[in-house]
Amino acid sequence: MAYRLEEETEADWWEVEALYDLCFSPGRTALSSYRLRDGVPTIAALCLILRDDDSTLAAVIRYWPVEAGGQDALLLGPVAVHPTRQAEGLGALLIRESLTEARKLGWERVMLVGDAPYYGRFGFARLDGIEMPPPTNPDRVLGLALKRGAWDGVAGPVAKAT
């Protein structure tokens, strides 16, 4: 099946939210990551969607700006793939494409809260010293330097971008 990779538009918002609701629990917005996103605009150029030949939404990824240890960073997520499209590599495609674009846009560091075995294949590793709002398991706070050494010496709390 062929897919179209597009930047998410305002017209896609409800459909994207419905896919997130389908893939994650309805309580997803209570997670600490959502408190960092509340009232903060996304980085639109990095919020991507994949549609199939019938224009059905198959997968999505979003990014928000945050401050981590006083430094600008991207907060990746959520990334979601429709249950009928899982195991096709669509999530990996969105992650790779969006990280490539983030580098082009000059971002130096990206972080997320997720599973190290999955995200490790993209170069993400545990961020020691970066403190997400509770209740976040520190082992799930992962980062990737888009520019060599971008996370070196960065420590402290993660806060909403100002």
For residue range 37-48, list pLDDT tens digits in order: 888 999 999 999
Q: Is pLDDT above 90 for 147?
A: yes
In this prediction, residue 135 carries a pLDDT of 84
Mean of pLDDT values over 50-55: 94
Mean of pLDDT values over 25-46: 82
In this prediction, residue 34 carries a pLDDT of 73
In this prediction, residue 24 carries a pLDDT of 87
Predicted confidence (pLDDT) per residue in 81-130, tens digit: 999 999 999 999 999 999 999 999 999 999 999 999 999 999 999 999 99
Q: Is the dihedral of CA 138, 125, 50, 80 positive or negative?
A: negative
Give the containing element (helix H, strand E) for 141. strand 141-145
Q: Is pLDDT above 70 for 7?
A: yes
Give the containing element (helix H, strand E) for 48. strand 48-52
> In this structure, how many other beta carbons lie within 10 angstroms of the beta carbon of residue 130?
22
- pTM confidence score: 0.93
Concatenated DSSP letters of 53-117:
TT--EEEEEEEEEEEETTEEEEEEEEEEE-GGGTTSSHHHHHHHHHHHHHHHTT--EEEEES-HH
Q: Is pLDDT above 80 for 152?
A: yes
In this prediction, residue 134 carries a pLDDT of 85
Number of domains in the chain: 1
- CATH code of 69's domain: 3.40.630.30
Q: Which domain holds residue 41?
A: 3-160
Q: 38 — phi, psi (to 5°)? A: -55, 120
